Each structure stands twice: as structure tokens, then as C-alpha cells.
Chain A
Amino acid sequence: MNPLKILNNECRKTRHLLALSAGNDVDAREVVGLERHLAVCPQCRELQQELRHSQQILEAVQPAGAMADQDFTSVWSGVSRQIRRLEQQPTSHDWRNWMPTLTLAAACLALMVGVVMPMRPSGGSSILNNNNGIMSGPLPTDPIGEGVRPQKQRPTSYSYYMSNRDF
């Protein structure tokens, strides 16, 4: 294998270790490996210098907006006020206490609706609500109740046919 390629692979592996070593975040075993590589790799030595420099800037500078310890005043008064307000909200607590009961009631209601509704005759409000199939109400296509024959309704019995045929 090409020795230059081996070195590049080694560099790739040690990039992260170099960054960690800039902030002293490597252990003794990792330091030994790094030093061995740095002894033969000028590019990595250069990168190490750059990382150390940027690390020094980062650690030395207090970015604008960061609060110093003396800038702080206690937040306890605000926190205690909010806690008191929180505890003086009986409605929300009452509502939460009623939640299991309300959930159970809603579940029972849903069950009842689910069981009872399918048992009701589906044609309860249908125009064919008689057992013999004779129409008793106005037809759906007849807004003024004149008894116009439905467009796609097929006769279901002989009596229906007889009562609606044209003579």
C-alpha cells in the first residue's frame, strides 16, 4: 500500500483526537498515539497549532451577553410568586381530579351509542318504513309533496307497483 495513503488515513483518524487534545480532553494512552503521529506528520502539527490558537481565543473571551456572577439578582421572588399563583388555581386541580370520572362516563356513552345505534332499524326515517313496503311519506325528490316517483327507486312489491302505475 502507498505509504502516503496510510498517512492520510492516520491523519483522518487523529483529526478528532487533535481537537480534543486542544482542550486537554484526551487520556494518557491517546496522547502517546498522537505524539507518535505528530512526530512524522507536519500537516497535523500545523493543525494542532491552529486548534490550540482558536481554543485559546475561545476560552479567553467572554462572549458578549454572558452574565457575570455579580450581575445576578435572585429569581426566587418571581418563582415563589408563580408557584403561589399555580397553587391558587383550584379550578384546574378540580378539573384534573374529575378527569378519570369524565373519561369513564365518556367511554360508557360511546359504548352505549355503539351498541344501541346498530340495533335500531336502519329505515326508521325511510320512505319505505312499512313492513309491506308501501310508501307512507313524501318522496325525496318531491319537495312540495306531490308524490313524484323517485328516479332510481325500484318497486319492492306488487302492491307498490299497483299503487303507482299510470292507467
Chain B
Amino acid sequence: MIRMSESETRSLDAVPPGGSASDARLVEDVRRGDHRAFEALVRRYETRLMSVLSRFVQDRELTRDLAQETFLRVFERIDQFDPSRRFGPWLFRIGVNLTLDHIRKRKRRVWPSLFSESRVEKGPDPEVADPREALDLEQEVRKVLESIPEKYRTVLILRDLENFSSSEIAAILHRKEATIRWRLAEARMRFQELWKRRQASSTTAPLGQDADIARSSSETEDESAEDLE
């Protein structure tokens, strides 16, 4: 892979801060009750972890809370960690899963309000300027990313925004590398298609409609293809 060297610049196994001790050594010390060793692990990974989690949630305080919760869970489950494996992917798996669970729960809480009587469907008002025009490029990209199904979006964020390699993403998401490559390709195609539609018909078709198309198109095809891998 050509981009492997790029991803290595922000590798999962970056050593400092926390001294030169390896992750495995620090984990052993934590198991023996050494809190300083755990502090070294936290300081070594916290910046990277919060950077990754902030791609999924747009609230800084929430990102900090999720990162804190991630490290607490790591501490509680440190005895379950297999020392023959790398610590980084294990930590990021806990963090990403925690964040995705949080997002799913929040979505579930939103559903009842969507169907409540207080919410009245309104059509677009031609006299009011389209609010999307005010959105800048960053927000546009975020909107498009949000409309991509979670399993594709997660891979896209980890690969293209956070520069993890396919093998690292496979370790974080606990999937085969072939599955990750399939999802990455699918995610990029969906992003491209949604972006093209959004640019072409920004005044006519709402993004939600595009997103529905993106979700439904070839979903079953994808599942069967992933099963084959």
C-alpha cells in the first residue's frame, strides 16, 4: 500500500509521552497496581484518542467525557487484555465502540420526538433563503458524512480523516482486512455520489433524500458481498 508510510507518522504505537517503556510493560505494571504506569498509558494515548472520538461527536466536552470513560473501562478490564496483542487497537476499539453506542442511544432517544404531535412537517418556504447556502464547506462535508451508514462512515473516518492503515482499522473494528477494504471502497463511492448530487442539485433535492438513496442502494448487495469475504 502506498499510503502506509503516511499512516505510520501517526501510528498507534507512538511511544512518548510516558517514557520509553513499552505498552506491554506498562500494562504489566498496571496489573500489579502501579497507577503511575496507567498514567503513562493515558498520557501516551489521550490526544490521539480524543482526536479520533471528536470525528464522531461534535461536542468537545462530550469527547472528553467519552475519552475519560474509555480509559476507565480500560482500567477495569486490564486483566482481560491479551498481552500478546497490541494495546493501541484494543484501546481504540473500546473508545470507538463506546462512542458509537452513545450515538445509537442518542438517536433512539430522538425517534419519539420525531413522531410526537408537537412536531409539524413544514415544506420549504420559497421566501426564506436556503439555510444550506450559509453552511461552509466543512459543515457540508460533515452533513454528507453523517448521511453515510455507520459501518461505512466509521471506516472512512478512521482511514481518510485519521490516517489509520487498513490493518489497524481491522484490529480496531475486529473485522477482516478484506472487509475493511470493501467497506472503505463503498464508503468512498457513497461519499462521491452524495457530494456530486449535493453540488449539482443543492437547491432542489434535500440531502435527506439523497441519504435515503445512499442507504438503500445496494445495501443487500453489500451484505452478501461482505459475507463472501
Binding site for B on A (CB under 8 A): 15-17, 19-20, 22-27, 50-51, 53-55, 57-59, 61-67, 69, 71-72, 74-76, 78-80, 82-83, 86
Q: Is A20 a contact partner of B181 (Cβ separation < 8 A)?
A: yes
Q: Is A72 a contact partner of B46 (Cβ separation < 8 A)?
A: yes
Specify which of B42, B51, B138, B185 is in contact with A20 (CB 8 Å cutoff): B185
Q: Is B46 a contact partner of A86 (Cβ separation < 8 A)?
A: no
Given A58-B160, A63-B138, A66-B51, is A80 in contact with B39 using a C-beta cutoff of 8 Å? yes
Specify which of B50, B72, B188 is in contact with A22 (CB 8 Å cutoff): B188
Q: Is A54 a contact partner of B195 (Cβ separation < 8 A)?
A: yes
Specify which of A57, A67, A86 is in contact with B50 (CB 8 Å cutoff): A67
Closest chain B CB from A88 CB (angstroms)? 14
In the complex, which residues of chain A have a beta carbon less than 8 angstroms from the beta carbon of B186? Answer: 16, 19
Does B196 lie at the interface of the complex (its beta carbon under 8 Å from any beta carbon of A)? yes
Q: Is A65 a contact partner of B59 (Cβ separation < 8 A)?
A: yes
CB closest residue in chain A, given B54:
A67
11 residue pairs of the A-B complex, CB under 8 angstroms, read A16-B181, A20-B185, A25-B184, A27-B1, A54-B188, A55-B192, A59-B161, A66-B54, A67-B50, A76-B39, A83-B35
Specify the main secondary structure of chain A where it touches its partner.
Answer: helix
| Pairs of residues from A and B, 10 with the lowest C-beta to C-beta distance, nearest first | A65-B58, A16-B185, A19-B185, A24-B2, A54-B192, A19-B188, A67-B54, A63-B142, A24-B3, A61-B141
- A72 and B47 CA atoms in complex are apart in Å by 7
Does B139 lie at the interface of the complex (its beta carbon under 8 Å from any beta carbon of A)? yes
- A75 and B50 CA atoms in complex are apart in Å by 10
- A69 and B52 CA atoms in complex are apart in Å by 11
Specify the main secondary structure of chain B where it touches its partner.
Answer: helix
Specify which of B43, B75, B142, B189 is in contact with A64 (CB 8 Å cutoff): B142
Specify which of B47, B71, B182, B189 is in contact with A79 (CB 8 Å cutoff): B71
Does B104 lie at the interface of the complex (its beta carbon under 8 Å from any beta carbon of A)? no
Q: Is B71 a contact partner of A75 (Cβ separation < 8 A)?
A: yes
Q: Is A25 a contact partner of B137 (Cβ separation < 8 A)?
A: no
Q: What mask results when residues 31 to 72 of chain B are scored 1 for a CB within 8 Å of chain A, else 0? A: 000010011001100110011001101111001100110011
Q: Is A58 a contact partner of B161 (Cβ separation < 8 A)?
A: yes
In the complex, which residues of chain A have a beta carbon less than 8 angstroms from the beta carbon of B145? Answer: 63
Specify which of B42, B76, B139 is in contact with A75 (CB 8 Å cutoff): B42
CB closest residue in chain A, given B71:
A79
- A58 and B139 CA atoms in complex are apart in Å by 12
- A90 and B186 CA atoms in complex are apart in Å by 50
